[in-house]
Amino acid sequence: MRDIVDRFEIEALRAELTDAVTMRDYDRAESLFTPDAVVRWPHIGREFAGRERIRAGIEWGQGLWEFFVQNLHPGVVRLDGDTATGRAYVQEFGRMRDGGSHLNHALYHDRYRRTPDGWRFSERVYEVRYVDSTPLTGSPPSTAPEA
């Protein structure tokens, strides 16, 4: 039964981070990492170590987007007592503030640790598998042209 609960809590952690980043709730995003956590984005040569730097990295990244949508899809979780590893599958799209468009399919390679506050990320490595920079034809509702 403990394994089932742990898997459920790790899925909830992954969903919580996706929501926090998409909603630009940087305090909540920061709280979902262990103090010594590391986030790596090899496709852009960035690494952030420690909660404060991870938060700054997420805020920096979100600042590049005019709008951003991330869809998270369940992956695998391997439990090992108070630690676990896993992969989560991701699709992201949006338009950058510089006018460029972006659609990708990627995955996160994760490490998790049980803490007194529940499961937290101790490492997250982002691996992009597909990128499409074709201009998006839509727009967010606040900037959509009137019919």
Separation CA 103–CA 144 (nearest Å): 20
Residue identified by tokens 């640790």 is 113
Q: What is the pLDDT of residue 144?
A: 55
Secondary structure (3-state) at 81:
coil
Residues 124-135 as b or e (16 or more Cβ within 10 Å = b): bbbeeeeeeeee
Query: Which of 101, 124, 120 is CA-nearest to residue 112?
Result: 120
Q: What is the pLDDT of residue 46?
A: 96
Residue 124 DSSP symbol? E
In 3-state terms the chain splits into helix, strand, coil percentages (rounded to 5) of 30, 50, 20
Rounded mean pLDDT for each run of 10 residues along the chain, 147 residues in total = 95 97 96 98 96 97 92 95 97 94 96 98 98 88 63
Q: What is the pLDDT of residue 145?
A: 59
Domains along the sequence of the chain with CATH = 2-138 (3.10.450.50)
